[in-house]
Structure 1
Amino acid sequence: MTLKEQLSDDMKSALRAKDRERLAVLRMLLSAVRQREIDERIELDDAGVLALIDKMVKQRRDAETQYRDAGRGELADAEAAEVVVLETYLPDALSDQELADMVAAAVTQSGAQSMQDMGKVMGILKPQVQGRADMGAVSAAVKNRLG
């Protein structure tokens, strides 16, 4: 079962269970998937859907921070609740050691010697860590390794 099929099935289950919050998040997510597919005239695979979910989680976290800073706790709580639902579809996060091991393997595989080769290493790592690690942390780990 693809991730899109799972999302659709979960949306139907949330509809039957009358779980309004979960239903709203799943509808929003499926709508974003369809919109991306229409805009780019492609069929998203699981990696594409994961990238979209990762982006949506990041947006929700930013919005939550901004709402909390503005003293709008109820809106921040709503964003946090959406993050919880979205994160259920992301794979388990990588530990620092797992990330370091993946970076070391990618550096070896690409034959990178200096910071100029960072793009090669990131190209290898991005599909492997999508949704499992923050790309900023991955970039920092690669810079650390190459620098």
Structure 2
Amino acid sequence: MRIGLYPGTFDPVTLGHLDIIERATVLVDRLVIGVAINRDKGPLFSLEERVAMLEAECAALARKTGIEIVAHPFENLLIDCARDVGAQVIIRGLRAVADFEYEYQMVGMNRALDASIETVFLMAEARHQAIASKLVKEIARLGGDVSKFVSPAVREALLARLG
């Protein structure tokens, strides 16, 4: 069984994330979405809320594809999380050149820690390439319409949180 790990903060989960998740399902038999506990980022949504959003957003996709998709909180090194869940592949989404530079460094470090775990990059669909959770939160915070960037349920959660 090929297990993939798609890590991130998912604060909140965007249509860009969901695009990568859907396309990752053709590469693996089981997809673990690693929800990072990153206290330095000061997330808008709690860990429990982010996990619940991901589970709700991925339920229909899991039924449609027949691929098990699970959300898994983690606070340790990414490579250790990959080992913990039995992942052979780490899946990373790319939006722009700036993402690549950071990810290139991360792959090098992860390969030095465990060369048996591969990293696969998936480019976001063109219409989702500019979407970033940070920008979505800023748009919502300033009263803008985020419906092009997140699902209706996530939009409602953002509006409820931000007033």
Q: TM-score, normalised by structure 2?
A: 0.27
> RCO (CA 8 Å, sep 6+): is it higher in 1 or 2?
2
* Higher strand residue share: 2
> Which structure carries more helix by proportion?
1
Bigger Cα Rg: 1
Query: TM-score normalized by structure 1?
Result: 0.29
